[in-house]
Amino acid sequence: MDPGNENSAREAAAGIDLDPDFEPQSRPRCCTWPLPRPEFPSQPPQPFEVEAGLGQKAIESAPEKRLTLAQIYEWMVRTVPYFKDKGDSNSSAGWKNSIRHNLSLHSKFVKVHNEATGKSSWWMLNPHGGKSGKAPRRRAVSMDSHSKLLRGRSRMPKKKLAMLPVPPEGALPMSPVGHFLKWSGSPGSRHRDEADMWTTFRPRSSSNTSSISTRPSPGGPEPEVLAVEEMPCAGSSYVGCVPAPRNEGLELLDGLHLASARALLPPSSLAGFCLQHPGLPGPLQGYGASLFNPAEGPLAAGEGCFPSSQSLEALLASDPPPPPADVLMGQVDPILPQAPTLLLLGGMPSSSKLATGVGLYPKPPEVPGPSGLVPPIPMLVPPPVMAEAPIPKALGEPVVAPPADTTSQDKMPQDLDLDMYLENLECDMDNIISDLMNGGEGLDFNFEPDL
């Protein structure tokens, strides 16, 4: 087909039958028109492109503000005259590819795990709008050397990868247990070589928009563990989690985090931690929270806040009710898999916090939790388990909030440097892996903070 003709035809089509508010504007190439942004009224209308714009329209038109790819296609064919006769596989390849491309590429779209077995992910609009639409992972975006390295590798064909003499720096050894290998990015990047897996926790688009994944349904085919967006800078991609039932397939990882959390966290430090995002109807599902409770019960129960009256132990032990229908996981920082408790306690790296603004929010004091208790100030606790994988420089500045109780022995230096405690938290991964290969018995992951 003729790209030029199609493009112009699509431009013409884009303005038809969309909605009464639509104000067609002649434009040479990109279809640009004012788009109301209900979630961010203060923001000026942003220009957007045909496929991306239509995709946005499609999603916005959905009652639940989310659609699967197939539904987006369907919406296109149904709504846009130009696509009406282009729904067949022959003539749809181009524009569908373009739509997929835009969904993946633009930070204004976020992919949310669809708990339904065999279904593709939900695509939603990034509550933060996405920075000028583009996820900061494009080639035009400047990256530091580390990120460039990662990116370069990410697309290296397996053939070439196989020829690499040595494993990538920072890459952990291939896990003897399948679970580890599931810690990958978004589905699309799921099974890249282990180098990517451990050096780039790239979820999806942005670097930002990352994808945390979700706890797969019990009956689900395979637990998709965690999709974390790579982050040269804070990604906007966050992985959402649509009701994801409990997953029993991650005991190993969960166990690791749970154990360390128990050792390090005063239960009260989690109390009142709010995971609700102002731009979203429902509570955000913080990944860190799900580490503690795969079933996400406490979060669901308390508008995304931990009931402060409950101890962590109780939360862990409780058999939570099914999560709400629309639960979004908070945006996850790439560092998350390595330092879950850091985020869990609100110690989100500054880069992520500033750039994405998504994810874990300390509950505002003026909005008391369900229990009416004053939310505690988030504390920074060193990650219990820290792999030796390099931490992006941009992530090296964890947000440190003074603990509520400054007399506590957990008091941390204000200018705590991530690298500093990384060094102090090294552990013998070889031994651990070896133990894991032997069945994991007798493993004790209770790390002392001052190890």
Partner DNA sequence: TTCACTAAACAAG
Partner DNA sequence: CTTGTTTAGTGAA
Q: Where along the sequence are the contacts to DNA (CB under 7 A)?
A: 1, 3, 6-7, 10, 27-31, 47-53, 68-70, 73, 89, 94-98, 100-105, 111, 118, 120-121, 123, 132-134, 137-140, 151-152, 154-155, 157-158, 185-192, 202-205, 211, 221-222, 230
Minimum distance between the CB of residue 221 and DNA, rounded to whole angstroms? 6
Q: Name which of 211 and 308 has its Cβ closer to DNA.
A: 211
Burial class of residue 120 (count of CB atoms within 10 Å of its CB; 0-12, 13-18, 19+): middle
Please compute, for residue 161, the number of CA atoms within 13 A of its CA located in the half-sphere on the CB side: 15
What whole-number distance in Å separates Cα of residue 340 and Cα of residue 270? 13
Minimum distance between the CB of residue 400 and DNA, rounded to whole angstroms? 30
Q: Name which of 82 and 421 has its Cβ closer to DNA.
A: 82
Minimum distance between the CB of residue 186 and DNA, rounded to whole angstroms? 3
- The secondary structure of 97-156, three-state, reads HHHHHHHHHECCEEEEECCCCCCCCEEEECCCCCHHHECCCCCCCCCCHHHHHHHHHHCC
Q: Name which of 48 and 306 has its Cβ closer to DNA.
A: 48
Minimum distance between the CB of residue 147 and DNA, rounded to whole angstroms? 10
What whole-number distance in Å separates Cα of residue 60 and Cα of residue 66? 7
Give the three-state DSSP class for 315: helix
Minimum distance between the CB of residue 303 and DNA, rounded to whole angstroms? 28
Specify whether the CB–CB gap between 138 and 148 falls below 8 A.
no
Minimum distance between the CB of residue 88 and DNA, rounded to whole angstroms? 9
What single-letter amino acid sits at 416?
Answer: L
Q: Name which of 124 and 284 has its Cβ closer to DNA.
A: 124
Specify whether the CB–CB gap between 305 and 278 falls below 8 A.
no
Q: Name which of 89 and 409 has its Cβ closer to DNA.
A: 89
Q: Name which of 152 and 321 has its Cβ closer to DNA.
A: 152
Specify whether the CB–CB gap between 104 and 205 falls below 8 A.
yes
Minimum distance between the CB of residue 131 and DNA, rounded to whole angstroms? 9
Q: Name which of 121 and 268 has its Cβ closer to DNA.
A: 121
What whole-number distance in Å separates Cα of residue 186 and Cα of residue 445? 28
